């Protein structure tokens, strides 16, 4: 169960890095799109949380969406031009916070064995959390490109962590099991 707790800390580190990329931006910068077929930083923020919710919901615990009106908007299967207007920065922030709390609650239940199949769900949870972390970092790359290249803001340093590195230009959590076993 130590691995789930460590992965939750990595999930929080990835989310904190995301926050470093956007929290100092104006609402106009968060909702600005470089061109009509490009997603705004705000969309990526909502999409990261949307995917986390759906992965938790579909793989570990059926539960309703914390904001059903955002589901279609934040689904990458919907082409950009059909997604609709972004919600306020406050609503995006609340959505991200609620989803992260749910991720922690469900993973905490799995780590503590408060589920019907604790051994099986522990395996699911470790892979799910790794995917959520890497998905967060995947969209951080795109947020970074808009922040740095289009909006002209400096980028924060990469997370200072032995098992987070860049592959193909993207931050990824890599070799995490070895790092946890060695600690």
At residue 177, the pLDDT reads: 57
Number of neighbouring beta carbons within 10 Å of residue 22:
22
Looking at 67-149, list the stretches that DSSP marks H as alpha helix, in order from N- to C-terminal side. 89-111, 118-145
Q: Are 56 and 102 in contact (CB under 8 A)?
A: yes
**Cα 65 from Cα 72, distance rounded (Å):** 11
pLDDT of residue 1: 58
Mean pLDDT on 37-43: 93
Percent of the chain with pLDDT over 70: 95
* Phi (first) and psi of residue 116, to 5 degrees: -75, -25
Q: Are 92 and 42 in contact (CB under 8 A)?
A: yes
Rounded Cα distance between 60 and 55, Å, is 8
Domains observed in the chain: 2-182 (1.20.120.450)
Q: What is this structure's pTM?
A: 0.93
Convert 110-123 into a string of H (helix), E (strand) and C (coil). HHCCCCCCHHHHHH
In Å, how far from its chain's centre is CA 183?
25
What pLDDT, in 10s, does the model give residues 60-82?
988 899 999 999 999 999 888 88
Q: What is the 8-class DSSP label of residue 38?
A: S
């Amino acid at each position: 169960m130590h691995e789930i707790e460590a992965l939750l800390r990595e999930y929080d580190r990835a989310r904190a890095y995301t926050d470093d990329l956007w929290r100092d931006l104006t609402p106009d910068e968060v909702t600005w799109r470089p061109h009509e077929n490009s997603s705004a930083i705000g969309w990526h923020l909502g999409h990261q949380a949307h995917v986390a919710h759906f992965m938790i919901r579909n793989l570990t615990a059926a539960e309703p969406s914390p904001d059903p009106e955002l589901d279609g908007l934040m689904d990458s299967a919907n082409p950009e031009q059909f997604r609709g207007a972004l919600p306020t920065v406050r609503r995006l922030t609340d959505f991200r916070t609620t989803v992260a709390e749910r991720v922690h609650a469900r993973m905490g239940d799995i780590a503590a064995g408060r589920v019907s199949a604790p051994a099986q769900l522990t395996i699911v949870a470790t892979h799910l959390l790794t995917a959520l972390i890497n998905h967060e970092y995947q969209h951080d790359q795109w947020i970074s490109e808009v922040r740095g290249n289009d909006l002209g803001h400096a980028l924060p340093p990469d997370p200072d962590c032995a098992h987070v590195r860049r592959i193909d230009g993207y931050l990824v959590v890599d070799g995490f099991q070895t790092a946890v076993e060695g600690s």
